[in-house]
Structure 1
Amino acid sequence: MAARPETARKILVYWMDGVIVLLALSLSVFVAVLVAEGRISVPHALAAEACLLGGFCLFPFLLRAAFDNRPRPTVRLVVSGVAALGAVLLVPSSPNEALGESSWSMVAFLWLSAVVLFQPMWAAVCTGVVVIVLTSAVVTVITGQPWQVVLPVQAFTAVTMVLAMWLWRWLWWTIRDAHESQEAKAGLAVAEERLRFARDLHDLLGHSLSVITLKSELAAKLATKDADRAAREMADVRRLAGESLAEVQLAVDGYQGIDLNEELDGVRAALEAAGTRCTVEARADDLSPGTRALLAWAVREGATNVLKHSAATRCAITIDGGVLEMRNDGVRGVGAGGGTGLRGLAERMATAGGSLSAGPTPTGEFLLRAAVPG
């Protein structure tokens, strides 16, 4: 469905926003505890908190800017990098604050995870090496730990956060590409069907219409010279026209000859595969073949609209006495007029003496109702 990839995108982005908020709150609480214990001064804490919040507040904008593609580095990316550097430098001054150092260095690694969304692989690797070396040096100087111990820990943390962000965006790209490929496949199938129909019509009518044209011209020329032969030619024209009409009707019937039960099964499978729970209640065994065919077309069109134009989570299909009702909860401001598919279906229903209506209901659902004489 058109709405589902966008829903997946929002879930992924908002999930990351939630992680950022939790991380920002935890580090802010850490700063407050340090101030309360007198380990750092209030100005020191305010400066550190400003850098912290600056980096975290800019991160959601960076994520949204680079989630669908790889843009060029922006001013926001540079500013957030400066804020992350300030946060790392404004670490607690006590050499025993190893945990605090580890937490603060995560701010730099979070910024690095955003950098990989903007840079090609080689540039991201170079930037990552610089960030890991700088943060490791700061941690080594402040805590007094050997760099041989600090560097592997910092490198592991940085690589883990960068890979997590890269996989996060790759998951969205996979969802988006899969949806686009489905749409392309559906469009290709429609185009192929149109070409096949056009080819069939050409094969059926091309020869017959050419012969009809020639015989009509011949009859017109013979009308004043040989009336009997002109009459025979026009009789052939009439015969050929009748045969051509019958052939076209057979071709159209082949396109229209869909089975209602098969269509209901196919629609239910398609909707449930797209995440829409579908229930079917059909009592149509006593209906005529023509009525069943019309209802099958209505079911197909209704399901197409649900898949293309709604965000439905459930759909109910009922058929009773030549009356079809399809209800779904995915109303998105669709009017009763509908698109070209619904208009064509309404014309077909009207030709058969039936009716079609489609539009939102007072209960917040979308209802497609088709009534066909049994």
Structure 2
Amino acid sequence: MNHGVDPAGSRRTERKLRVARRIILGSMLFILLILVGMPLTELRLGTDKVTLWRTVLAEAVAVPLGVALMAMFRDRMDGRRDPRPWLYWGSIAMAAVAAAALQVPVSSMFFLGAWWAVGVFVASRRRGAAVSALLLALPWALIPFSPLDIQFIPFLLAWVFSIGWALLLSAGSLASLWLWDVTNDAVKGQRARAQLAVTEERLRFARDMHDLLGHSLSALAVKAELASRLVDRAPARAAAEMEEVHELARKALQQVRTAVSGYREVDLAEEVASVGAVLAANGTAVSVTGLEGLSLPPDRESLAAWVVREGVTNVLRHSDATACEIAFTRAKDTAMGRALVVEVSNDGARDGGERGTSSGSGLAGLSERVSLGGGSLSAVRTKGGGFLLRAVLPL
């Protein structure tokens, strides 16, 4: 189980995103070519009434206008919904000047339509609607500036045709922006999921380190203390206890390695036998019920083993118990349907020790682990100064 971030995959994603951005910006160069080429086309196809200085003026304005339009489109791709005012209104002013300098009405209409096909998407809808109304009326206002004789019906038909042409161009711009937004959002979502996976893995690792080392170190402390007490009175038994300390240390190291690799399954029968031996060495009598013949799915068995481990760790740390009971019971007609109830109880909890799931990171981590498995955990004091840890695990 690897929840880390793949650096190579991240680099590939970033590279694809850059390529997609360049392709979209490159497709917008078509609009730039229309703006720059319209005055030159008018000069070539115009009549004797077309004057050179007006064409030069329109061309001189069209070039910076195209650059400004591309800059606003790039800002919009970067997530800027409100364009820089001087750039936006400056581009509108340049579009109006260029349209007035153009002498063929159809050229002015197509020129304004090319600007609108991009400019309408770089600002808010309200501003875009106002500017659209302005651009629709502008060709009619420019009629006095044309050196040609204007006929109403042909002019109206050209005006309607230029609107359809602008809508066609705008569909391409809108599709490009929509595809970019979808792609960018998908990449951001992938980054967020990767970051969440890293965070979850860190929490998993911290929880496992506490659960594994907390129990193992408590068991080692009990065994080492017993060996120190026996070293003078019963050297042979002390040596045996130290051998068990060595074996416990070896198992703890193995458990840490499995936790690091991500495989956290714990064998229930082995765990019960292990904690039973530790409790017995601590002078605590252990009784186990319901384990014989118990068959569970691997994930439920591992979860039950974690409950037993944490329960016994708390007995070692926070009690002076003389007896500990570990019980496994199948329950029916519960809110979870079929469930396994795991109980770890002792008869000698210390004052200020186990008070519930909020006391200490051990029970808090176990509660989180059980909740992730769909179960519930409770930890309460019992009559006579005892303590009961109870987990209900859905089957």
Q: With structure 1 as the length reference, what TM-score do the two structures score?
A: 0.56
- Alpha-carbon deviation of 1:22? 5.0
- Aligned amino acid, residue 48 of structure 2: G
- Alpha-carbon deviation of 1:6? 0.7
Q: Distance in 2 between matches of 1:252 and 1:205?
A: 13
Q: For residues 198-277 of structure 1, what are the structure 2 equivalents within 5 Å?
A: 198-220=206-228, 223=231, 227=235, 230-249=238-257
Q: For residues 34-49 of structure 1, what are the structure 2 equivalents within 5 Å?
A: 34=46, 37-49=47-59
1:81 equivalent among 92, 96, 102: 92
- Alpha-carbon deviation of 1:238? 2.0
Q: Structure 1 pair 76/235, CA: closer, same or farther in 2 (3 Å)? A: same
Residues 14-70 of structure 1: CA deviation (Å, up to 9, x unaligned): 221244225522531322443xx4222222332233233342243222322332122
Residue number in structure 2 paired with 1:4: 16
Q: For residues 25-104 of structure 1, what are the structure 2 equivalents within 5 Å?
A: 25-34=37-46, 37-69=47-79, 70-92=81-103, 100-104=104-108
Contact 1:220 1:230 in 2 (8 A): yes
Q: For residues 107-186 of structure 1, what are the structure 2 equivalents within 5 Å?
A: 107-138=111-142, 143-146=150-153, 149=157, 152-186=160-194
- Aligned amino acid, residue 31 of structure 1: L
Contact 1:208 1:240 in 2 (8 A): yes
Q: Distance in 2 between matches of 1:167 and 1:6?
A: 18
Contact 1:136 1:154 in 2 (8 A): no
Residues 146-167 of structure 1: CA deviation (Å, up to 9, x unaligned): 4764554344334433343232
Residue number in structure 2 paired with 1:340: none
- Alpha-carbon deviation of 1:200? 4.1
Contact 2:223 2:241 in 1 (8 A): yes
**Largest Rg, 1 or 2:** 2
- Aligned amino acid, residue 249 of structure 2: A
Residues 67-118 of structure 1: CA deviation (Å, up to 9, x unaligned): 21224333222222112101222232xxxxxxx4223222223333343343
- Alpha-carbon deviation of 1:189? 3.3
The question of 1:21 aligning with 2:20 is answered no
Q: Structure 1 pair 195/42, CA: closer, same or farther in 2 (3 Å)? A: same
- Alpha-carbon deviation of 1:209? 1.9
Unaligned runs of 5+ in 1: 93-99, 256-374
Residues 341-374 of structure 1: CA deviation (Å, up to 9, x unaligned): xxxxxxxxxxxxxxxxxxxxxxxxxxxxxxxxxx
Unaligned runs of 5+ in 2: 1-11, 264-395
Q: Distance in 1 between matches of 2:226 and 2:169?
A: 84
Q: For residues 304-315 of structure 1, what are the structure 2 equivalents within 5 Å?
A: none
Q: Structure 1 pair 222/117, CA: closer, same or farther in 2 (3 Å)? A: farther
Q: Distance in 2 between matches of 1:19 and 1:231?
A: 87
Taking only the aligned residue pairs, the percentage that are identical comes to 28
Q: Distance in 2 between matches of 1:150 and 1:138?
A: 14
Contact 1:58 1:76 in 2 (8 A): yes
- Alpha-carbon deviation of 1:4? 0.9
Q: Distance in 1 between matches of 2:257 and 2:94?
A: 73
Q: Structure 1 pair 56/252, CA: closer, same or farther in 2 (3 Å)? A: closer
Q: Distance in 2 between matches of 1:122 and 1:241?
A: 71
Residue number in structure 2 paired with 1:287: none
- Aligned amino acid, residue 152 of structure 2: Q
The question of 1:105 aligning with 2:112 is answered no
- Alpha-carbon deviation of 1:225? 6.6
Two-structure CA RMSD over aligned residues (Å) = 3.3
Q: Distance in 2 between matches of 1:54 and 1:241?
A: 75
Size of the aligned set, in residue pairs, is 247
Q: Structure 1 pair 41/246, CA: closer, same or farther in 2 (3 Å)? A: closer
Q: Distance in 2 between matches of 1:40 and 1:140?
A: 15
Q: Structure 1 pair 23/84, CA: closer, same or farther in 2 (3 Å)? A: closer
Contact 1:216 1:233 in 2 (8 A): yes
- Aligned amino acid, residue 196 of structure 2: L
Q: With structure 2 as the length reference, what TM-score do the two structures score?
A: 0.53
- Alpha-carbon deviation of 1:10? 0.9
